[in-house]
Chains A and B, each alone.
Chain A
Amino acid sequence: MARRDIRAPFIPERDKDKTPILECVDLGIDFGGLTAVDDFNMTIGRTEIAGLIGPNGAGKTTVFNLLTRVYKPSRGKILLEGRDIESMNTIQVNKAGIARTFQNIRLFNELTVLENVLIGLHNEMNYNLLSAVLRMPHFWKDEKIAKNRALELLSLFGMEDLAGQKAGSLPYGAQRRLEIVRALATNPSLLLLDEPAAGMNPSETSELMENIRKVRDTFKIAILLIEHDMNLVMGICEGIVVLNYGKIIAKGTPEEVRNDPVVIEAYLGKKGDVPC
């Protein structure tokens, strides 16, 4: 089997004739003298579930931070639905359609589960401060729609019964799910999940896989996930990009990536290397 060109775009067949949701062209960032990510080329189809994998410190989360404009890239550009996001900040990128979760969970711990999702729905409501203070009909209408929407999103993950609980008091797995729900509430077209299965047991992980697929099918959105759990990555991703030392070393379907000698070397070392 021939290796795929790591600079060429790779998207699943069914998204071929649509504009890709995301295109990264020669993306790179330096922190001082250290090049964290370089020559990063990736294309994600409209409804693709894509995976970004690589050993620890490969630069995966840095890529997420570049996509959400937490960092400004030193080189290259990012196109979201064909539009350059260079002039945007984190908030505008979210409005343009990228939502994310965090590797170390960042929920609004002291607020309830429902309030967490309602904060995600912030920009879906448009009443102004005056109508909020005077409790105008517009306020009640928007709040009611938002609340129903929030409960609907929570029920997708079977969490509607937890709506009144404080987010910080939820068990770990539920907190991870809530973060996904909150990200979905911002109505994204591309969802970035940073290690969604971290700390989950196998049965929770397989449930999560089902949920990720369900999210993609219900909302018709693209999902890019970073994950170390290979069962999950190989199980649901259609396209995978492997990163090592900030550079893409392989790209392709799970099958291709799994058998790629370069990938195996990156993870396990070369045959004949002196073990230390």
Chain B
Amino acid sequence: MKKNYKKIPMPVRYAINFVLLLAFLLIVNALIENKVISRSNSIVVVSIGINIILAVSLNLATGYLGQLPLGHAGFMAVGAYSSAILVKNIGATWLTIPLGMVFGGLVAAIFGLIIGIPALRLKGDYLAIITLGFGEIIRVVLLNIDSVLGFKLTYGAASLKNIPKTTNFINTYIVVIITCFVIHTMMKSRHGRAILSIRENEIAAESCGIKTTYYKTLGFVVSAFFAGVAGSLLAGNLGLLNPQSFGFMKSIEILVMVVLGGMGSMAGSVISATVLTALPEVLRAFDTYRMVVYSLLLIIVMIFKPSGLMGKYDFSLSHLLEKLLNFKSSRGKKSEERGS
């Protein structure tokens, strides 16, 4: 049975995915341009994108690597501030916007490295507490300093204002795709398998010759990088940054998205980030009961599907197409047999 299984060749798979992603981009962009999606709703669409990046990157550290970092908002803050300061001071052009994102990501990644090396020696609760502490340190430091090396840059509690509003649907969408693509291709390689093996059994991973410390740090740093990129998108979306918005609750919010979607499922993270960002907006009509419904939904999912909406399952369009293709052809064969 396996031998007759039709497979879609790799280039065709990439082409199908690329065309569909491009079509989605053009459609949604046209809807925004023609005001079918209102200005306020398009901001929601952008924040869905940002939350997808945050959830997918946190999923790398929790779902794939199996650690429990609680300081994701800290990395996001570092990325947001550093890219905002850069873009604000050198001006927003087509070149500096991506440069700002990469810069924000890199600074967050450096912080990830500094935190990761000592923190990843610890396991479980201890790692959670260290990263939690880190997130709080970032918030408190940003709240209390208004200048760096004598330059008035961060403005402390008064918020960093007048950041060029560079984030729009198109660049958010592109970054979302790049994030998902990079993390997906990384996970489907020997490096990704090494990261998964650490989650599954660290002792066995070591006995297979896998440099566990290196791969733990790698997963953590890549996760921090994309959190930083998401932060820089957020800065360009809001135009102002206040340290208070990067508190502990923001980290928890992202963690809830990952857990609800299913730890270790990228599709799950994308779906739950979308739903959990859109839901409060959709429920605005029932203003008073908004948070009740939101919380109830979380409780219900956790009771009936503790592994999250998608579990560890990852959606693949090509696999689905392959299944349909083979289903049809096997039915065709059966009817042929009956005919003869």
Residues of chain A having any CB pair with chain B under 8 Å: 68, 70, 90-91, 94-95, 99-100, 102, 106-111, 115, 118-123, 125, 127, 129, 132-135, 139, 142-143, 146, 182-183, 185-186
- A106 near B190: Cβ-Cβ < 8 Å: no
Of the residues B194, B205, B207, contact of A99 by C-beta under 8 Å: B207
Residue with the greatest number of chain B CB neighbours at <10 A, chosen from A109, A122, A125: A122
**Could you tell me the distance in whole angstroms from the C-beta of B45 to the nearest C-beta in chain A?**
27
Whether, in the assembled complex, B209 has its beta carbon less than 8 Å from a beta carbon of chain A, the answer is: yes
- B189 near A95: Cβ-Cβ < 8 Å: no
Residues in B with CB closer than 8 Å to A183 are 207-208
Residue with the greatest number of chain A CB neighbours at <10 A, chosen from B186, B196, B204, B207: B207
How many angstroms from the CA of A210 to the CA of B294 in the assembled complex? Answer: 60
Residue of A nearest to B205 (CB): A119
- A110 near B200: Cβ-Cβ < 8 Å: yes
Given A106-B204, A133-B186, residue A122 in contact with residue B209 (CB < 8 A):
yes
Inter-chain pairs besides A106-B204, A122-B193, A183-B207, 8 sampled, C-beta below 8 Å: A90-B206, A100-B207, A118-B193, A120-B208, A127-B189, A132-B192, A133-B182, A134-B185
Whether, in the assembled complex, B290 has its beta carbon less than 8 Å from a beta carbon of chain A, the answer is: no
Whether, in the assembled complex, B312 has its beta carbon less than 8 Å from a beta carbon of chain A, the answer is: yes
How many angstroms from the CA of A109 to the CA of B321 in the assembled complex? Answer: 28
Of the residues B196, B197, B211, contact of A91 by C-beta under 8 Å: B211
Whether, in the assembled complex, B143 has its beta carbon less than 8 Å from a beta carbon of chain A, the answer is: no
- B190 near A186: Cβ-Cβ < 8 Å: no
Contact indicator per residue, chain B 31-70, by CB within 8 Å of chain A (1) or not (0): 0000000000000000000000000000000000000000
Q: What is the size, in residues, of chain B's interface with A at 8 Å between Cβ atoms?
A: 28
Residues in B with CB closer than 8 Å to A135 are 185
Whether, in the assembled complex, B324 has its beta carbon less than 8 Å from a beta carbon of chain A, the answer is: no
User: Which 8 interchain pairs have the tightest Cβ spacing?
Assistant: A132-B189, A108-B200, A94-B209, A106-B204, A90-B206, A119-B197, A106-B201, A133-B185
How many angstroms from the CA of A274 to the CA of B191 in the assembled complex? Answer: 60
Of the residues A68, A70, A118, A185, contact of B190 by C-beta under 8 Å: A118
- B190 near A125: Cβ-Cβ < 8 Å: yes
Whether, in the assembled complex, B203 has its beta carbon less than 8 Å from a beta carbon of chain A, the answer is: yes
How many angstroms from the CA of A119 to the CA of B200 in the assembled complex? Answer: 12
Given A94-B208, A122-B210, A123-B209, residue A129 in contact with residue B193 (CB < 8 A):
no
- A108 near B201: Cβ-Cβ < 8 Å: yes
Given A106-B203, A107-B201, A108-B201, residue A186 in contact with residue B208 (CB < 8 A):
yes
How many angstroms from the CA of A125 to the CA of B210 in the assembled complex? Answer: 12
How many angstroms from the CA of A115 to the CA of B203 in the assembled complex? Answer: 17
